[in-house]
């Protein structure tokens, strides 16, 4: 009952945010933008989105190899596509991470290692996002004179600092041992073995400077791909979003979408795009139209994951 109420609440929030977005923006303006979208550029954006998924798969494989897990790249992509598919129906990006981690755990029979690889993969990706946002904000504020974006610069810097600090805690054996003391409390004691396995799995990354650096570099390539996805969608409707603005705000939108308050980020995305890009002077109707197309790209690009999931279900039943 609690899970059903939580899901219902997320659906209500999604619908409420969508309604709010369309109340604040002229619906006719959004409709006109979407009606004149150029199909060729939309398809190019879809292809770039699929490339971004493949790049993310390469990042994840590097992190798995640091744990000594060898898995064929096609199998890894299958779990990744399934995760992206369930992102459309589960809270934010968290649900998709759970699904791909579950698939990997069943494949390798190494549950803790699979969970930790997904966590590290997500943290590395977010740090790359925030590093990109910080760089773009510094350029915008200090070199191009957009002083009104100074708050965005500070938000990106704080987010990057928090991520780096949190990752440092996870990699520190001493700090993890301090956290382990919490599991001596009576109500947390049953979870102590699980924390022990997860803590041990993090040890694989303690001195893996090469794989972590490589994963960070691959994450930057993935960010370039997703930035181009947004840019191509904007170009399909007149090109009112500059690449510099997308480099600045795309990471912050990705961070906001991690908040599990809606189904598949629906509604959150439609309010975040006009808000953030409005700071750079992008018309709200154009920003909202791009968010709608981006939602469509995410759905279409993840459909192979749905087919793969159905195939695996049929195979397991057979």
Over residues 162-183, the mean pLDDT reads 86
What pLDDT is attached to residue 279? 85
Confidence of residue 222 (pLDDT cuts 50, 70, 90): very high
**pLDDT over 90 (residue 59):** yes
Query: According to DSSP H, which parts of 67-87 are helical?
Result: 73-86
pLDDT at 264: 66
Interatomic CA distance for residues 265 and 92, integer angstroms: 5
Nearest by Cα to 56 from 3, 132, 147, 117: 117
pTM of the model: 0.86
For 269-299, what is each residue's pLDDT tens digit?
888 898 889 888 899 899 999 999 998 999 8
Picking from 247, 248, 230, the residue whose alpha carbon sits closest to that of residue 287 is 230
Task: Look at the block and give the residue holding tokens 């590290």.
Answer: 120
What's the pLDDT at 18? 67
pLDDT at position 24 over 60:
yes
Per-residue confidence (pLDDT) for residue 210, from 0 to 100: 93
Q: Specify whether the CB–CB gap between 315 and 98 falls below 8 A.
A: no
pLDDT digits (tens, 9 = 90+) for 135-168: 888 887 776 666 667 787 788 888 889 989 988 8
**62 contact partners, CB below 8 Å, separation of at least 6:** 211, 214, 215, 218
Helix axes 284-317, 2-24, angle to 10 degrees: 150
Task: Report pLDDT for 294.
Answer: 93
């Amino acid at each position: 009952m609690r899970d059903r109420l939580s899901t219902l609440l997320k659906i209500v929030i999604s619908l409420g945010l969508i309604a709010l977005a369309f109340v604040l923006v002229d619906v006719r303006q959004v409709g006109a933008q979407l009606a004149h979208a150029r199909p060729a550029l939309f398809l190019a954006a879809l292809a770039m989105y699929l490339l971004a998924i493949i790049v993310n798969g390469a990042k994840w494989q590097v992190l798995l190899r640091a744990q000594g897990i060898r898995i064929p790249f096609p199998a890894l992509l299958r779990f990744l596509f399934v995760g992206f598919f369930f992102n459309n129906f589960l809270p934010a990006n968290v649900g998709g991470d759970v699904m791909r981690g579950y698939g990997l755990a069943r494949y390798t029979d190494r549950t803790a290692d699979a969970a930790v690889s997904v966590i590290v993969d997500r943290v590395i990706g977010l740090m790359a996002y925030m590093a990109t946002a910080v760089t773009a904000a510094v350029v915008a504020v200090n070199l191009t004179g957009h002083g009104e974006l100074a708050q965005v610069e500070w938000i990106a810097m704080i987010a990057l600092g928090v991520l780096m600090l949190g990752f440092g805690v996870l990699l520190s054996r001493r700090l993890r041992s301090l956290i382990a003391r919490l599991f001596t409390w009576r109500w947390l004691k049953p979870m102590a073995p699980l924390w022990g396995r997860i803590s041990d799995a993090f040890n694989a990354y303690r001195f893996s400077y090469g794989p972590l650096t490589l994963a960070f570099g691959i994450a930057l390539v993935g960010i370039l791909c997703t930035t181009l996805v947004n840019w191509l969608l904007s170009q399909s409707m007149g090109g009112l979003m500059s690449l510099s603005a997308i480099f600045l705000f795309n990471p912050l939108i990705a961070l906001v979408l991690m908040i599990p308050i809606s189904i598949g980020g629906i509604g959150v995305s439609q309010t975040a795009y006009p808000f953030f890009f409005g700071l750079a002077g992008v018309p709200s109707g154009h920003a909202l139209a791009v968010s709608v197309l981006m939602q469509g790209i995410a759905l279409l690009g993840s459909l192979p994951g749905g087919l793969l999931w159905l195939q695996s279900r049929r195979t397991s039943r057979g």
